[in-house]
Amino acid sequence: MNAKADKPTGNSYAFICNSLMWDDAQRCIDLFLKDRHTDGDFLWSKGANGYISAGATYDTYIYGGNKIGFKVDRSLDVEFPDRKYAIMVDLTPDSRTGKPAIAKYSFKNTDIVENYIQGVGGLNGMSSGEVSSPVAGSKLIMWGTGSIAVFNPYKSVVLMSNKTQNPWL
């Protein structure tokens, strides 16, 4: 096989967005596909109860070898309740070195640190011995560290609309 033919063409982008931006992306992709009339088919599926569900939810759009994925983060709804908001990150690895566009890192051996507090009955609830908590149950405490790094931040974008108006007006 040809090594160049095995590599995907185009770029890969991720949009992490709030619900308002997600709804807008759904509406835009739906209208785009509806206007193409490629074969006249509609998107539908028949459930076990005999009812038919029509429509689609789009999480990825591929065009000309470029892949655009959408993911809703509800914490952005809290921060931006009246604006469309998205963070677009280019996930395409460096074409020369193969270095990923984004990566996770943490301090050595601190991804997840676990500690157990034994209650009455030990960890299994039926053991005798020393306990560190007066309750009849054990407790697991987990914490960790981790961060992400975007290696080429100039290929990433923050999208934010003006405050939205009431859509019913």
Residue 52 lies in a domain: yes
Residue 163 lies in a domain: yes
Q: Across residues 79-108, what is the average pLDDT?
A: 85
Q: Across residues 101-120, what is the average pLDDT?
A: 79
Please check the confidence at residue 7 and state whether its pLDDT lies above 60: no
Question: What is the distance between the alpha carbons of residues 121 and 114, in angstroms, rounded to a whole number?
Answer: 20
Digit-coded pLDDT (tens) for 14-58? 899 999 999 998 888 888 777 765 555 556 666 667 776 666 778
Residue 44 lies in a domain: yes
Give me the torsion for CA of 149, 23, 29, 54, rounded to 10°: 130
Provide the whole-model pTM: 0.60
Please check the confidence at residue 161 and state whether its pLDDT lies above 80: yes
Residue 117 lies in a domain: no
Are 22 and 80 in contact by the 8 Å Cβ rule? The answer is no
Residue 93 one-letter amino acid:
P
Residue 75 lies in a domain: yes
Residue 134 lies in a domain: no
* 5 — pLDDT class (breaks 50, 70, 90): very low
| Structural domain containing residue 68 | 9-94+151-169
Question: What is the distance between the alpha carbons of residues 136 and 121, in angstroms, rounded to a whole number?
Answer: 7
The domain total for the chain is 1
Residue 144 lies in a domain: no
Residue 50 lies in a domain: yes
Q: Which residue has the tokens 């000309």?
A: 64
Question: What is the distance between the alpha carbons of residues 84 and 17, in angstroms, rounded to a whole number?
Answer: 8
